[in-house]
């Protein structure tokens, strides 16, 4: 951003800051590509540039926000945000203190910037993957390939004196193949993402083929018999579980807005075995949820949520940290300038354990080994996930493959039922998180394989 724009924003902050307790302006420039192929049809093929921003004002605990696309109307938008905040503010503004920072940071790319790749070349990449999905087997009935990249550059200035510039690039591809045999329908999915460079999306042939082959293979597998089993899940499902089932409950706005959740999520409460460690943080570099500062200007951190099986932390914005008397963690994030920052996960993971993966199966007379994911949903502390692949475990050994495997349970009971933690680990960079209407925010998930007892396993396929 040029010096004239910074001076303009600084002057406006100085002019209006005395009218509220807190004032922030976030200016954003973004360039993005979106391609969607469904079957042999191109549903989306676009490149776009957006320039806009948001004003947030806080007065006596009440927030006002206004977004804009032209700097010429910024004074009006600031006055709108201030008027809204003063209209609803009736209590006290409590924002946990953070360092006042002036900084400019670029998340480094290890590969080629996607803006250097022509749109036609990205379309050809999607065509190649669509051909792989189609040609895997005649029983593949429908396919979809989605490509997306986005480069965001932002400047954040606040009435406290913070002035931060940040920029980053995010890339993602999603693949799905549905196979059909009579009335039996099965789907295989793969998703991958990167903040490293375009090359990370160009060598996915085997991964794409695997998605289609899983769908085809599942047509001939018997459906699982619904029951309660001891289950071994792979690192991808572990990452999905820790993000969806536990991570959202760790977001402190969920707690202070819901007394029941706050009571359940009491710091110091034991939730799992002594070797269970769960963390979240934007500070570890190279992952899709990584950054230097969140969208309030708080430096990224690494927060331990569960230590030795005990709840020791949660994820905060400045407001939730202030209201709960805890330290801000740098987890206030917004998808773009149309939305206010919310408490969001970044990179969430379970640390590896000490049990060799083969040892996780030992002693299981009848159980289930589940890998990959098809979908899932959570409702408070309850979750249901669909596995992409699954096998029965019999007498401690992998047995026949099965299909239509859904895993359900209560997150707290499930954490307590973890029997063993594998010594493997995998980072899944495919996550796009949704909350408060802000869908597709890039996150990372990670973890080892887990062995969990008393998991309810359903044998009915989810509706597509």
**Strands 163-181 and 102-106: what pairing?**
parallel
Please answer whether residues 188 and 215 qualify as being in contact, where contact means their C-beta atoms are separated by less than 8 angstroms: yes
Q: How confident is the model at residue 261 (pLDDT cuts 50, 70, 90)?
A: confident
DSSP per position, 95-106: -------EEEEE
pLDDT score for 461: 40
Question: Bridge-partner residues for 24, per DSSP?
Answer: 56, 158
- Higher-scoring residue by pLDDT: 460, 63: 63
Please answer whether residues 171 and 201 qualify as being in contact, where contact means their C-beta atoms are separated by less than 8 angstroms: yes
**Strands 382-394 and 366-379: what pairing?**
antiparallel
pLDDT score for 380: 83
Q: How confident is the model at residue 125 (pLDDT cuts 50, 70, 90)?
A: very high
Taking only the tens place, the pLDDT of each residue in 306-340 is 999 999 999 999 999 999 999 999 999 999 999 99
- Higher-scoring residue by pLDDT: 353, 380: 353
pLDDT score for 335: 95
CA distance 190 to 192: 7
CA distance 269 to 266: 6
CA 10 distance to own-chain centroid: 33
Taking only the tens place, the pLDDT of each residue in 225-247 is 999 999 999 999 999 999 988 99
CA distance 441 to 433: 5
The answer to which of 146-150, 178-182, 254-258 has the lowest mean pLDDT is 254-258
**Strands 438-447 and 347-350: what pairing?**
parallel
CA distance 214 to 387: 11
Whether the pLDDT of residue 97 is over 60: the answer is: yes
Whether the pLDDT of residue 464 is over 60: the answer is: no
pLDDT score for 363: 95
Residue position matching structure tokens 């692949």: 389
| CATH fold label, 3-219 | PmbA/TldD fold (3.30.2290)
- What is the DSSP-derived secondary structure letter of residue 251? B
pLDDT score for 462: 40
pLDDT score for 431: 75
Residue 392: CB partners within 8 Å, gap ≥ 6? 224, 366, 367, 368, 369, 398, 399, 400, 401, 402
Mean of the per-residue pLDDT values for the chain?
A: 95
pLDDT score for 246: 92
Write phi, then psi, for 252 (nearest 5 degrees): -65, -20
What percentage of the chain reaches a pLDDT higher than 70?
98
The domains of the chain are located at 3-219, 227-458
Taking only the tens place, the pLDDT of each residue in 179-216 is 999 999 999 999 999 999 999 999 999 999 999 999 99
What percentage of the chain reaches a pLDDT higher than 90?
90
Q: What global pTM score does this model have?
A: 0.95
Taking only the tens place, the pLDDT of each residue in 390-437 is 999 999 999 999 999 999 999 999 999 999 999 999 999 987 899 989
pLDDT score for 1: 61
């Amino acid at each position: 951003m040029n010096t004239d724009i910074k001076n303009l924003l600084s002057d406006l902050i100085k002019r209006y800051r005395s009218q509220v307790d807190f004032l922030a302006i976030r200016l954003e420039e973004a360039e993005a590509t979106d391609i969607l192929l469904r079957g042999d049809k191109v549903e989306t093929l676009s490149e776009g540039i957006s320039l806009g921003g948001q004003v947030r004002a806080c007065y006596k605990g009440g927030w006002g926000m206004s977004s804009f696309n032209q700097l010429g109307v910024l004074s009006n938008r600031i006055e709108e945000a201030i008027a809204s905040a003063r209209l609803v503010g009736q209590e006290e503004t409590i924002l946990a203190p953070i360092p006042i920072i002036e900084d400019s940071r670029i998340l480094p790319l290890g590969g080629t910037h996607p803006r250097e790749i022509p749109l036609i070349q990205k379309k050809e990449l999607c065509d190649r993957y669509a051909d792989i999905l189609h040609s895997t087997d005649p029983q593949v009935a429908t396919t979809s390939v989605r490509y997306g990249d986005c480069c965001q550059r932002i400047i954040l200035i606040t009435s406290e004196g913070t002035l931060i510039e940040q920029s980053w690039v995010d890339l993602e591809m999603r693949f799905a193949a549905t196979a059909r045999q009579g009335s039996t329908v099965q789907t295989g999915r793969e998703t991958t993402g990167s903040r490293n460079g375009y090359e990370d999306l160009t060598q996915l042939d085997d991964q794409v083929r695997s998605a289609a082959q899983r769908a085809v293979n599942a047509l001939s597998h018997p459906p699982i018999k619904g029951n309660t089993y001891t289950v071994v899940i792979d690192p991808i499902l572990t990452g999905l579980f820790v993000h969806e089932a536990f991570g959202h409950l760790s977001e402190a706005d969920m707690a202070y807005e819901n007394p029941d959740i706050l009571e359940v999520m009491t710091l110091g409460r034991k939730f799992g075995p002594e070797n269970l460690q769960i963390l979240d943080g934007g500070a570890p570099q190279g992952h899709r949820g990584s950054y230097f500062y969140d969208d309030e200007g708080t430096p990224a951190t690494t927060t331990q949520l569960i230590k030795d099986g005990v709840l020791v932390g949660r994820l905060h914005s400045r407001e939730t940290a202030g209201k709960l008397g805890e330290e801000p963690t740098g987890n206030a994030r917004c998808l773009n300038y149309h939305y206010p920052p919310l408490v969001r996960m970044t990179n969430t993971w379970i640390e590896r354990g000490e049990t060799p993966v083969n040892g996780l199966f030992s002693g299981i007379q009848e159980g289930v080994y589940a890998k990959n994911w098809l979908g899932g949903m959570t409702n408070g502390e309850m979750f249901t996930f669909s596995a992409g692949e699954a096998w029965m475990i019999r007498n401690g050994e992998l047995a026949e493959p099965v299909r239509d495997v859904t895993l359900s349970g209560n997150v707290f009971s499930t954490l307590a039922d973890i029997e063993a933690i594998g010594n493997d680990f995998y980072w899944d960079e495919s996550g796009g998180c949704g909350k408060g209407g802000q869908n597709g925010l890039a996150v990372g998930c990670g973890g080892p394989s887990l062995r969990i007892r008393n998991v309810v396993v359903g044998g009915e396929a989810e509706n597509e």
